[in-house]
Chain A
C-alpha cells in the first residue's frame, strides 16, 4: 500500500515539461510517423503541430507559444537543400538563432528553443531528438516566461527594476558623459548656409517639391520642417540639436500622404531630405526595401559632428530662441554618437560639410550596458525587462518615430487582437516590444529615435543593439551600410555563423 502511494506521489511530483513541436508536414511530421511505425519511443511530452514548412513558423508564433506556457519549443524542418519549397527552411535556419538570442536576452533560457532537421525517413533521429530535448527540459524545470493573467488596475504599482543597471537620463547609461566639443560656431553656420543654398536651388529649379529639414521653433526647440517655397529656406537650421531621423517622413511625402497605397510614378513627388550619416543608412534600408524610387529623393548629406542629448525640460530655456552654445546647461553627446565613426553620409546627392575631422569615438555606452545585462542570469534579465516594459503606456511613439516601422496595420494593433490584445497588460507590452525588436532585426540602423521619443524612458536601444550585434556576428551584416537586403530575407550562402 505504502509502495503504491509512494509511486503515485512520485508521479505527481516529477516535473513533466510541456513541449510544443512544430513539424514540417513534408519531412519531420512524416519522420514522426516513421518513428511510430518502427515502434520507436518518443516522449509523450511532445505536442506536435503540423505546419506546411518550418519557414511558416513565424517568430510571433514561437513567442506566443512560450507566452501560453510552453516549457520548450521544438522546430523541426527538412534538411537544408531538401525543402519542398526550395528555400523555406533557409529562413528558419537564419531566423531562429536570432530569435533565440532575443528571447535569451529577455530572460528565457536559450536551450528552450531548439531547431533541428529531420527527414521523412529518419524516424530514429526524430525519436532521439525528442527524447533528448524532453530530458533537457525536464532538467531545466518549468519555464518562467508565462505571465499570469492580469488584473486591470488604475495605478497599478509599477515593478521596481532590479539594481542591475542604473538608468541615467538620455542614454548616458554608464554616466560616461562626454561633453560636446562644439566646433567653432562658424562650422554650423557654414553647413546651415550650405543646406539653405541647396534647398533654394532644388526648390526654385522645381527639381523637388519639398525639402525636409530642421527648423528652430518659436520657443527654442529644434524640430522637423517641410519647406516647399524657395523664399522660406532661411528657416532651415543646422546644429547639434538636429537629432530627428527625417527618413521617417520620406515615404509619406513622396507618396503624397498615401504611404500605404502604391502610387503610380507620376503621382509621386520628388523630395529632398537633410540626412546625417545614421539617417543615410536608414534611407539605404528604405531604398533596399523598395519603399520609393531612388530618383524621387534628393539626399542632402550633412557631415555630422555628433548630436547632443536633449536638454532636461526644466533647464530648457523657453523665453527666446537661443543657440545651445549660450545655454547654461552643458550638453553631452548622445550615447549612440559616442560610438559612431561615420561622419559622412553613405549615400547622398549633395554633400555639405568638411569630412576631415573625426568624431571622438570613446566606446559604446549602450553596448557596455548590454554586456552588464548579459552577465546576469536569465531570471534577473527577465525581471529587468519586465520592469522596463511595465512602464510602457502603448503610445506607440517608438514605432511612429521609426523609419523602418511602416506597416499599414501594425501586427500588434490589429482589430482582431490576433498577436496582442489592446490592453496595457505586461503580456501585451512584452509581446509588442520583443516583436517589434525582431521585426527590426537586420533593418535597424541604431538611430535610437525610438528611445529618444519614449515618454517613459524605456531602453529600447538595448534590444535593437543586441539584435544588430547578433546579425553582425552571424552574417557580417550591418543594416544600411550598402544597398543590400537584410540577410534574414535571403537564402543561405553557407558562410553564416549560426548557432
Chain B
C-alpha cells in the first residue's frame, strides 16, 4: 500500500488548484457542493457526500450544443465543444458509479454523445473513500461500497496523518507521478466506515412487471409535489430537454440548449396536440422507479444491476418523504 502524508497532499492540491482546474467538495452556505477550488483550505473534508451529485461534471444543468448565426442570406453554425480539462478531488464511490451509469447512455449507446465524451476524456476523478456512512446511504444494497473503485482514476483512503492511495487507471498513474513522494505503508489499516447503511432488501429480486398496475403507485403519489428535486440531486437521472433560444444582446444569434429535465414533472411526456400519456401523477412517479430498477437493467447490458447508486440524496431532499428504500421494502413485502 502506498501512503502519502496529509501535508504533502495539501501542498499538491494547492499547486494543482493553482495550475489546473481543480474541483472539490466545498461548503457554500449550508450546502456542500462540488465547486472550483482556488486553494486547499477551501476544501471541505468532513462530509457524507456533496449535496448535488457529480453528474454535473459531464452533463451540466444547461449547456450550449451549438450556436446559430444568421444574416440575411446565410446561416452559420458554430460548434460548442467543451475544451476545459478538470481534476475532481474528493469523489465519493456512489458518484463515480453514477458516472459509469451515465456512460451507458451517453457513450455506449450509438451514436455516442460528443459533448459528454469530450468532458469524460478531459476529466480525472480522484476518489476519497467514506469514513462515515450517512443516515440515508444504502450503496452496499445496490452493488456498491463506500470504497468501490469503479469509475475512479485514483482513490485515497484516510488513515492516521495521511492517506493510502490506489492507482486505478492511466490518468490516475499520471496524477500519481505528479504527487510528492509516496512511501510504503505498514501502519494500522483504517477502520471500516462508521455507521450502518440503510437496509432496503434486494431490488433486483422484485418482479417489476407484475407491479405495474398496482394501486400503490397512485396512493404513493398522492403526496408527491411533482417537483424535480429527486431527479436533480440523483447521480444517475439523465433526462434532458432540448430547445432553441435567442441569445440576448446578439440579434440573429440563437443557441441550441440542453437542460436537465425530470420525468416527474407534469408535462414531461406531453406530445404535440396536447396528449399526455403519463397524465396521472402516479404514472409519472412510478416511471421514476421503473426507470431505475426495471427499464435500465433491461435496456443496457451493464455491470450494474440497477440505475441507483444508493447515495440516498433523494431520500434526504424529498420535502414529503418519498423514500426509495420504503418503496423497495414495500414491493418485497407484497411479493412475500
Contact = CB atoms under 8 A, between A and B. Distances in A.
B182 interface: no
Nearest to A223: B321
Given A217-B326, A400-B225, A318 B198 contact: yes
A154 B228 contact: no
A206 interface: no
B33 A158 contact: yes
A421 B60 contact: no
A62 to B, nearest CB: 17
A71 to B, nearest CB: 15
A257 B280 contact: yes
A152 B63 contact: yes
B135 interface: yes
Given A68-B248, A422-B243, A155 B56 contact: yes
B162 interface: no
Nearest to B247: A149
Nearest to B82: A154
A400 B226 contact: yes
B61 A393 contact: yes
B29 A391 contact: yes
Interface string B227-250: 111001100000001010101111
A157 interface: yes
A161 B329 CA distance: 42
B139 interface: no
Interface in B171-230: 198, 219, 222-223, 225-229
B62 A424 contact: yes
A219 B250 CA distance: 53
Given A154-B56, A397-B225, A169 B30 contact: yes
Interface stretch (B8-16, B153-161, B298-306, B312-320): B312-320
Contact of A457 (B29, B86, B198): B29
Nearest to B270: A415
Contact of A223 (B35, B64, B249, B320): B320
Contacts, number: 148
A224 interface: yes
Contact of A401 (B56, B62, B267, B319): B319
B247 A224 contact: no
A1 interface: no
Interface centre among A161, A313, A453, A455 (most CB of B within 10 A): A455
Contact of B228 (A149, A161, A395): A395
A417 interface: yes
Contacts of B323: 217-219
A167 interface: yes
Nearest to B56: A154
B54 to A, nearest CB: 10
A254 to B, nearest CB: 13
A157 B31 contact: no
B119 interface: yes
A396 B261 CA distance: 11
Interface string A151-188: 01111011011000001010000000000000000000
Given A423-B257, A423-B259, 9 more contacts: A148-B249, A149-B248, A318-B198, A394-B228, A417-B245, A422-B243, A423-B245, A424-B259, A453-B227
Interface of B: 23, 28-31, 33-36, 48, 51-52, 56-64, 82, 86, 119, 134-136, 198, 219, 222-223, 225-229, 232-233, 241, 243, 245, 247-250, 257, 259-260, 262, 265, 267, 280-281, 316-317, 319-321, 323, 325-326, 329
9 interchain residue pairs of minimum CB distance: A453-B319, A397-B227, A423-B62, A223-B321, A154-B60, A400-B225, A400-B227, A226-B222, A224-B223
